[in-house]
Amino acid sequence: MNQFTALDRPRAEQASPAARSAVARVADDKAMLRTAGELTRDLNIANPRIYWSDMLASALVGYAALATAILALTPLVALLAALLSILALYRAGSFIHELTHVKSTALPWFRLGWNALVGVPLLIPSFLYEGVHTLHHAKTRYGTVEDPEYLPLALMKPWTLPLFLVASLLAPVALLFRFAVLTPLSMVVPKLRTTVVERFSGLQINPEFRRRPAEGELRRNWAWQEGAASLWSIALLAMVFTGVIPWRSFAIFLAVASGTMLLNQVRTLVAHLWENDGDAMSVTAQYLDSVNVPPPGSLPELWAPVGLRYHALHHLVPSLPYHSLGEAHRRLAGVLEAGSTFHGANHRGLGRLVARLARSSWRGGA
């Protein structure tokens, strides 16, 4: 799950055109694509028990830890509880990604349950992602100016990387303003509504992307989710300003929410190599520009939960539910030889990925 930032999308003028477009010229590895489809066909069924138990447990732990942080009598206990709350609520929030890929008929009532327990309380209702994230997977949009979730970070100025992270810390305040102020105002000011829909209704990082009004079922879901988020944000601020909720408790809530956004932004920072400069890419090129962090490491389960550690594989087979990605990766790794393109998207850890991106940004955008 991405979030809006104030970053511009400058081009790396000092990099040669050949270097900037090299990633886009990678041809499709048809053998790999065919094998991926054949070996994972039986893994496409989402298991409602896994989804519900994982989401509910993550939300329960997250909110219990948040309450502990608010009520703690010592700073150390408050800090440890807040960190646990960030990790658990980040995992619970990550299910917004699954909602965009799994058919609602496969998970009855899951969208409603997730929005009621996680999306609306944390001001990230699923309409912010549904109808946006699928464009990121469109074969002709990935990595282009029409991709809402792509910036050529490896080719941009080095200072954009820390700004990219810092902006996420302000996201909870921005979301409060969006739902408590912009939503009700936009209902009576048509021009403002157009701006809100186009620019402030998607968890996107590409500032040039403009969202179109939703239609059909998504429009209906958008209406009730935005209404619920607006009522909740207004009620939350009203309780804070009238003293029902102490300012300290509100500050801890915002700090935890900012922590989840920062953690997600760190994960987003290494979800791709960000080396494409706007050209259309083959499916294989998109795969190689994306990142897998497979076992044996266990830390990715904390910073890339709910299958996000297999982000490249997800781009290869986006229909797979998150609980099937580990098995899919094992099957493909066992069949495709060491020289296969498949292994080119596997990386060893967060630190190395951040260092690679920093070096690329320094060379390409300095």
Residue 12 confidence (pLDDT): 39
- Residue 312 counted as domain residue: no
Decide: 361 and 160 in contact? Cβ < 8 Å: yes
Interaxial angle between packed helices 350-365 and 160-169, expressed in degrees from 0 to 180 and rounded to the nearest 10? 130
Q: Which residue has the tokens 């009730």?
A: 224
Residue 365 confidence (pLDDT): 58
pTM over 0.85: yes
- Domain range for 166 is 17-25+53-281+349-365
Residue 21 confidence (pLDDT): 53
- Residue 321 counted as domain residue: no
What SS3 class is residue 290?
Answer: strand
List the chain pLDDT tens, one digit each, 366 residues: 445 444 554 443 344 444 445 565 688 889 999 999 999 999 999 999 999 999 999 999 999 999 999 999 999 999 999 999 999 999 999 999 999 999 889 999 999 999 999 999 999 999 999 999 999 999 899 999 999 999 999 999 989 999 999 999 999 999 999 999 999 999 999 999 999 999 999 999 999 999 999 999 999 999 999 999 999 999 999 999 999 999 999 999 999 999 999 999 999 999 999 998 888 899 999 999 999 999 998 999 999 999 999 999 999 999 999 999 999 999 999 999 888 899 999 999 999 999 999 998 888 655
Q: Which residue has the tokens 């329960």?
A: 60
Residue 4 confidence (pLDDT): 45
Residue 18 confidence (pLDDT): 46
- Residue 354 counted as domain residue: yes
- Residue 344 counted as domain residue: no
Write out the two tokens for 121: 């309380």
Give the integer Cα–Cα distance in Å for 209 and 3.
13
Write out the two tokens for 170: 């302000």
Strand partners, 290: 272
Strand partners, 292: 310, 346
- Residue 315 counted as domain residue: no
Write out the two tokens for 107: 């998970």
Residue 22 confidence (pLDDT): 59
Rg of the chain over all Cα atoms, to the nearest angstrom: 21
Q: Which residue has the tokens 């009532």?
A: 109
Count of domains forming the chain = 1
- Residue 165 counted as domain residue: yes
Give the integer Cα–Cα distance in Å for 201 and 114.
18
Sign of CA dihedral 54, 2, 118, 59: positive
- Residue 304 counted as domain residue: no
Assess whether the previous peptide bond of 17 is cis (omega < 30° from 0): no
- Residue 32 counted as domain residue: no
Residue 26 confidence (pLDDT): 80
Decide: 274 and 150 in contact? Cβ < 8 Å: yes
